[in-house]
Every structure is written in structure tokens, then in C-alpha cells.
């Protein structure tokens, strides 16, 4: 899943082994030096050991730094690969597959769960391999002085390296897998409170939401406590085996020293070396717990990808990064292991009496709805092409947003056809559809970063000059002039620094910067006062003239700039209304 480079892992294990090997060597040489110095030899007899102690003391810190540097490089590269692949898969997958998930749950899966999978390298894989290398080296070092003591040390290391992690794994699996869902509940409850604080306060449900979050946090804390107990037992077993190795070395070494088969300074080495050798195995219980946590997170990520109708397979970071930058499903499909052939738009022919203009969307007899549910809109005929402005009017909940998702090729039609640039939407990958249509949802996210980076969501190579032009075109020229740092001004989480109207215009500027010739806008005037909403809608219909624009709204006002107005009735039927009639209160619906 992480697509890690095996060579980088080997380098990380090498630095980690050298770091812990320096610690073991430092213990062994220091023991020899202290024992030898007690015999009052000539100073020159100790000079090599003194220099070696200093070198090992310094190298331990240097090697540890290099090990942390290399392991985190491996982990972060893997996290980037996985997170980009998850984003690409979700973008190219079925929107209905994840629409039912809570926002906080999706955030937990693409955020903390991906991080947990990445941690398997730093906190599980590398420590386990380092423990094998260092333990083997320590046994060989002690065997050079006392094979019997080395055998005792090997048995003790085996118990600490196998039994302790097994104990931690068996007990932690139950607790840690439970905390994954608990963490998701905490994240989801937190997002609900942060995003809907105003609505929850007005409805009197804020206290209930906070209490739900408190219960989720208490449940998470209890599960973490349960996971800590077996970890403590595992750590205790590690300490016990260390003591057994030292006592065993004493029981074997003292008689050997008395018999003259083992030098006194060598006794110090075989007794004190195990104290450092067990540093490697003491990290294994935590590594086992991390392996359980990462495994649970991996299961949740795979479940999310399965929902989207795709699976993760090895792919190069360059391919995934290119797919994420370009945003085209042809590249994304290759990144996730799907072979897709580019579909060439026809750009010619007719449909329902209309000539197919290149870069157009033509719907004929369209019925749309979420898969597996009854259609919410039926009998729609619509043509959207560059230079044409269409408005769809209907009450909230009538199916306007579902219609936009269908026209954008994100969900399949229930009946009828949708041609995007001359190709049936069912045969067109999402990324190819995005070359023709860009959709700005009602709740489109504004990121906690600069104005310029928020505009680059539409196209990664947007220049400052293009950004300023788009902002002026969207009616934000005065706002831009008043920003303290211009395009580099941070907007806060979900644009808290902007008013509702300014936020909507920022999303309009983002849509204008997208390379697609057609724009679909969902309720651009929602939650704005009447005058602001009317002004924004007029501007939307005006600025989209050099392209094609389709706007859905629930208000029959400010529609004089539209070429066509489609009205969705109470029974989800479709009628057309003259744009001029939209300005009079007595206008009638023409079927």
C-alpha cells in the first residue's frame, strides 16, 4: 500500500543496527575498561579502550539521528504515495459509495488511518529488523568470551523478542481495533460540532452533540487504558528476561573465572553486555501494537477504496503525483491499476435535433437519481454549450444537486442519455469528463491556506496574474485590494475570514480558472440576503458568457441573463420558463 523502496528500508535498518550496535559495543568496552582499570595497568594499556568508548558514545547519537532521518523519509514517502492514491481513487470512483459516510469518518480514514499505515515502517518494520540484527550480533559478541553465557542470552532474547510481542499483540488486537472506530466517532462528532455549531445552537441540540462527543472520548480513553495493560505486562516480561540473562551470566561466569577459564575483565563484559542488548527487544511489544493498529487502519482504507469500486495496487509515486496534478482519470486509472483507453470526443453529429457542439453537454429524456433509489428528476432535455447560460429552478430537495452530478458524469443516469463532448457519460472516465465540465458544489470546501492556493485547486499552475484576473471577474477586485497580504492572505478554516457572499464569489473565481469550457454551479446564492444573492447570480450568468454555465437555484429572480430556465415541479417533472417571464410575479410555467 505504501509502495516503499526496499533499498531505503535496508539503509534505515543499517543505520538503526549501527546505532544500537554502538550502544552494545559501548557497554561491552566500558565494562572491559572499568574492570581493566581496577587492575591499575599502565595508562597506555587503556588508551585504545578510552578512544573506543568516546567513538562509540559519539557514533551512537550520530547513527541514531541518521536512522531517524532515513526511516522518517521512508515513512513520509509512503504516506504521500498512499494518500495521493487514495485521493485519486476516490476522485475516480463512485461518488455514491462514500456519500453515505460521515464527513469525520472519511477525514479519519484519509488522515489518521493513512498516517497509521505509514507508521508501520518507523515503529514496527524497522525496529523488528534492527532487533534481529543487533540480537544476533550481541550473542556472537558474548560467545567470543563464553559460549554458555551466549546460549543463556540467546534464550532470554528469544523470549523477550517473541513472547513479549505475542502477548502485546494478542491483548492489543482486541483493544486497538476497537479504538479505530472510537477515534472515527470522535472525529465525526467533532466535525459535526465545528461545522454545524450555529445550526445546533439554534435547534437546541448543541449540548446533546457535545455530550455525544464526551461519551465517545470516554469510550476511547477506556479502550486506550485496556490496551496499556498488556503493553505493561509485555514490558515487564522484557525486564524479567534481562535480569535472567544477567543472573545466568553471573552463575556461569563466576565459576569459570574461579577456575581460570574466564578472565575477570571478560566476566564484566558478559555480565554487562546484556543490559544494552535488550534495548532492541524492548521496542518489540510497542512494534507489535503498532502492527495491529496499522493493520486495522489498512482494513478501513481498503474498505473505503472498495466502496469507491477500486483497489490499491503498486504504482510509482511519479505516476500518482502526475495523476493528482493533472486530475485526469486516464492517468488516475493507470495509477490505481485500471487500464483505460482515452475516449476521443466526436464533436459532431446530432442529438434530439441539436448539432453537437464540441465541448457541450446534451441530455435527452434524462431521469436521474442515486443508484438504487427512485429517480428524483424525470423527462429532462437539456443542451449546455460554450456561450450558453442555463438556469434550473426548483425547491430544496427536488433533485437539483443530483441533476448536476449526473450532468457532470459523476453518477450514471437512471434513464435517458447524457452526452459529454459527444460521448455517453457512462463510457467516459471521470477525468475525461472533467476536461469538459467543472462542478462547484454548494458546500465546496475552502482550505485553510492562501487565496492563491485555494484558487489553484482548480488548476495547479494558476499564476498570480491569472488569479487576480479571475478574482476581479468574479467581483472580488475590491476585496483583493484590501487584503493585508494580497493573494498570500490566509483565509482560515473554510474561509472564516470571508463573508458568505465573498466565499461564494471565491468559489466562482475558482470555477473560472478551471480548464473545462462548461461550469455547473450549485446554489451560488444560498444563505445570502436577497440583494447579494441576486447580484451574485447576475454576475455568474454574465461571467460565464465566454464559456457555458448552468446554475441551479430555488429562486425565480435575477434570471434575465439566462438563455433558458428549466423549472422542476413538485412531482419532479420538468418545464421551461422564459427568462423574461422570470422577472414578473405572474409568470406561468410552460410545459
For helices 500-513 and 464-473, angle between their N-to-C axes, nearest 10 degrees: 120
Question: What is the model's pLDDT at position 135?
Answer: 93
pLDDT band of residue 97 (cuts 50, 70, 90) is low
Is 502's pLDDT higher than 70? Answer: yes
pLDDT band of residue 102 (cuts 50, 70, 90) is low
Give the residue, 317 or 270, on which the prediction is more confident.
Answer: 270
What are 324-340's pLDDT values in tens digits?
A: 333 333 332 333 333 33
Average pLDDT over residues 180-202: 82
Question: What is the model's pLDDT at position 466?
Answer: 93
First to last CA, the chain: 54
pLDDT band of residue 1 (cuts 50, 70, 90) is confident
pLDDT band of residue 576 (cuts 50, 70, 90) is low
Question: What is the model's pLDDT at position 356?
Answer: 66
Is 518's pLDDT higher than 70? Answer: yes
Give the residue, 173 or 116, on which the prediction is more confident.
Answer: 116
Question: What is the model's pLDDT at position 225?
Answer: 78
Q: Give the CA count within 13 Å in the CB-facing half-sphere of 58.
A: 5
Task: Give me 35's grid cell.
Answer: 574492570
Is 578's pLDDT higher than 50? Answer: no
pLDDT band of residue 184 (cuts 50, 70, 90) is confident
Instruction: Count Cβ neighbours within 10 Å for each residue of 116-130 and write b for 16 or more, e otherwise.
Output: bbbbbbbbbbbbbbb
Question: What is the model's pLDDT at position 112?
Answer: 81
What are 215-229's pLDDT values in tens digits?
A: 988 888 887 777 677
Report which of 363, 410, 367 is spatially closest to residue 571, judged by C-alpha positions.
367
Q: What's 341's DSSP letter?
A: P
Q: Which of 14-18, 284-288, 412-416, 458-462 has the highest mean pLDDT?
A: 14-18
Give the residue, 557 or 247, on which the prediction is more confident.
Answer: 247
3-class secondary structure per residue, 132-153:
HHHHHHHHHHHHCCCHHHHHHH
Is 381's pLDDT higher than 60? Answer: yes
Is 318's pLDDT higher than 50? Answer: no
pLDDT band of residue 56 (cuts 50, 70, 90) is very high
Question: What is the model's pLDDT at position 154?
Answer: 94
Question: What is the model's pLDDT at position 355?
Answer: 56
Average pLDDT over residues 552-572: 80
Report which of 238, 245, 249, 312 is spatially closest to residue 279, judged by C-alpha positions.
238
Q: Mean pLDDT lowest for which of 237-251, 399-413, 415-429, 565-579?
A: 565-579
Strand-strand pairing, 389-393 and 548-553: parallel
Alpha-carbon distances, residue 274 vs 231, 250, 271, 372, 561 (angstroms): 22, 11, 7, 64, 83
pLDDT band of residue 195 (cuts 50, 70, 90) is confident
Question: What is the model's pLDDT at position 245?
Answer: 92
What are 248-268's pLDDT values in tens digits?
A: 999 999 999 999 899 999 999
Q: What percent of the chain has pLDDT over 90?
A: 24
Which residues lie below 8 Å from residue 363, measured CB to CB, with a gap of 6+?
380, 381, 382, 383, 406, 407, 416, 417, 418, 419
Question: What is the model's pLDDT at position 122?
Answer: 86
Does an H or E element contain 267, and which? helix 264-281
pLDDT band of residue 4 (cuts 50, 70, 90) is confident
Question: What superfamily does domain 6-308 belong to in CATH?
Answer: ABC transporter type 1, transmembrane domain (1.20.1560.10)
Distance of CA 143 to the CA centre of its chain: 48
Is 439's pLDDT higher than 80? Answer: yes
Domain segments of the chain: what residues?
Answer: 6-308, 350-436+516-583
Question: What is the model's pLDDT at position 304?
Answer: 81
Main-chain phi, psi angles of 82, to 5 degrees = -70, -45
Distance of CA 212 to the CA centre of its chain: 25
How many CB atoms within 10 Å of residue 513? Answer: 22
In the numeric block, the cell 535472567 is attached to: 244
Question: What is the model's pLDDT at position 103?
Answer: 64
Give the residue, 391 or 501, on which the prediction is more confident.
Answer: 391
- In a 3-state reduction of DSSP, which class is residue 231? helix
Average pLDDT over residues 294-301: 85
φ/ψ region of 361 (left if φ > 0, alpha if ψ in -120 to 50, else beta) reads beta
State in words which class domain 350-436+516-583 has: alpha beta
Give the residue, 151 or 447, on which the prediction is more confident.
Answer: 151
- In a 3-state reduction of DSSP, which class is residue 107? helix
Average pLDDT over residues 199-207: 87
What average pLDDT is seen over the chain? 80
Q: Which residues share a beta bridge with 440?
A: 521
Task: Give me 162's grid cell.
Answer: 517473541
Q: Mean pLDDT lowest for which of 74-78, 202-206, 233-237, 253-257?
A: 233-237
3-class secondary structure per residue, 39-69:
CCCCHHHHHHHHHHHHHHHHHHHHHHHHHHH
DSSP result, 465-522 = HHHHHHHHHTT-HHHHHH-TTGGG-B--TTSTTS-HHHHHHHHHHHHHHSS-SEEEEE
pLDDT band of residue 435 (cuts 50, 70, 90) is confident
Is 387's pLDDT higher than 50? Answer: yes
Average pLDDT over residues 506-531: 86
Q: Give the CA count within 13 Å in the CB-facing half-sphere of 499.
A: 9
Amino acid at each position: 500500500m505504501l509502495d516503499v523502496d526496499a533499498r531505503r528500508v535496508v539503509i534505515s535498518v543499517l543505520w538503526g543496527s549501527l546505532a544500537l550496535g554502538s550502544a552494545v559495543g559501548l557497554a561491552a568496552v566500558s565494562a572491559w575498561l572499568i574492570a581493566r582499570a581496577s587492575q591499575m595497568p599502565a595508562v597506555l594499556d587503556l588508551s585504545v579502550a578510552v578512544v573506543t568508548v568516546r567513538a562509540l558514545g559519539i557514533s551512537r547519537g550520530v547513527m541514531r539521528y541518521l536512522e531517524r532521518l532515513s526511516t522518517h523519509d521512508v515513512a513520509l514517502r509512503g504516506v504521500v504515495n498512499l494518500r495521493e492514491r487514495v485521493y485519486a481513487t476516490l476522485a475516480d470512483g463512485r461518488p455514491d459509495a462514500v456519500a453515505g459516510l460521515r464527513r469525520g469518518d472519511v477525514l479519519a480514514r484519509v488522515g489518521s488511518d493513512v498516517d497509521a499505515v505509514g507508521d508501520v515502517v518507523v515503529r514496527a518494520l524497522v525496529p523488528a529488523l534492527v532487533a534481529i540484527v543487533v540480537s544476533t550480533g550481541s550473542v556472537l559478541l558474548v560467545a567470543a568470551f563464553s559460549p554458555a553465557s551466549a546460549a543463556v542470552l540467546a534464550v532470554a532474547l528469544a523470549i523477550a523478542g517473541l513472547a513479549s510481542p505475542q502477548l502485546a499483540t494478542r491483548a492489543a488486537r482486541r483493544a486497538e481495533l476497537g479504538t479505530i472506530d472510537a477515534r472515527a466517532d470522535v472525529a465525526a462528532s467533532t466535525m459535526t460540532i465545528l461545522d454545524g455549531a450555529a445550526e445546533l445552537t439554534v435547534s437546541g441540540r448543541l449540548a446533546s452533540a457535545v455530550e455525544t462527543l464526551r461519551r465517545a472520548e470516554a469510550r476511547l480513553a477506556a479502550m486506550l487504558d485496556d490496551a496499556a495493560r498488556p503493553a505493561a505486562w509485555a514490558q515487564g516480561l522484557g525486564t524479567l528476561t534481562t535480569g535472567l540473562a544477567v543472573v545466568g551470566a553471573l552463575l556461569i561466569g563466576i565459576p569459570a573465572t574461579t577456575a581460570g577459564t574466564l578472565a575477570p575483565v571478560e566476566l564484566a563484559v558478559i555480565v554487562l553486555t546484556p543490559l544494552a542488548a535488550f534495548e532492541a527487544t524492548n521496542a518489540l511489544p510497542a512494534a507489535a501494537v503498532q502492527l495491529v493498529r496499522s493493520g486495522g487502519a489498512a482494513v478501513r482504507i481498503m474498505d473505503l477504496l472498495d466502496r469507491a469500486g477500486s483497489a490499491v495496487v503498486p504504482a510509482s509515486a511519479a505516476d500518482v503525483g502526475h495523476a493528482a496534478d493533472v486530475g485526469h482519470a486516464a492517468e488516475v486509472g493507470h495509477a490505481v491499476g485500471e487500464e483505460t483507453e482515452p475516449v476521443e470526443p466526436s464533436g459532431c453529429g446530432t442529438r434530439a435535433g441539436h448539432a453537437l457542439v464540441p465541448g457541450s453537454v446534451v441530455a435527452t429524456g434524462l431521469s436521474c437519481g442515486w443508484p438504487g433509489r427512485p429517480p428524483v428528476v424525470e423527462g429532462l432535455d437539456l443542451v449546455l454549450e460554450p456561450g450558453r447560460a442555463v438556469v434550473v429552478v426548483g425547491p430544496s430537495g427536488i433533485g437539483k444537486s443530483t441533476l448536476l452530478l449526473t450532468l457532470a458524469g459523476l453518477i450514471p443516469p437512471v434513464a435517458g442519455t447524457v452526452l459529454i463532448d459527444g460521448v455517453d457519460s457512462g463510457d467516459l472516465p471521470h477525468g475525461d469528463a472533467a476536461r469538459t465540465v467543472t462542478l462547484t458544489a454548494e458546500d465546496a470546501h475552502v482550505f485553510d491556506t492562501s487565496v492563491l492556493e485555494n484558487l489553484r485547486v482548480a488548476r495547479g499552475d494558476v499564476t498570480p496574474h491569472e488569479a487576480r484576473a479571475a478574482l476581479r471577474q468574479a467581483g472580488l477586485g475590491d476585496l483583493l485590494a484590501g487584503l493585508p497580504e494580497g493573494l498570500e492572505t490566509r483565509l482560515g478554516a473554510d474561509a472564516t475570514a470571508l463573508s458568505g457572499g465573498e466565499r461564494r464569489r471565491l468559489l466562482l473565481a475558482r470555477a473560472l480558472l478551471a480548464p473545462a469550457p462548461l461550469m455547473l454551479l450549485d446554489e451560488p446564492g444560498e444563505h445570502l440576503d436577497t440583494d447579494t444573492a441576486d447580484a451574485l447570480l447576475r454576475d455568474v450568468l454574465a461571467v460565464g458568457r465566454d464559456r457555458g454555465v448552468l446554475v441551479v437555484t430555488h429562486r425565480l429572480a435575477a434570471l434575465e441573463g439566462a438563455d433558458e430556465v428549466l423549472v422542476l415541479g413538485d412531482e419532479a417533472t420538468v418545464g421551461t420558463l422564459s427568462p423574461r417571464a422570470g422577472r414578473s410575479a405572474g409568470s406561468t410555467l410552460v410545459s
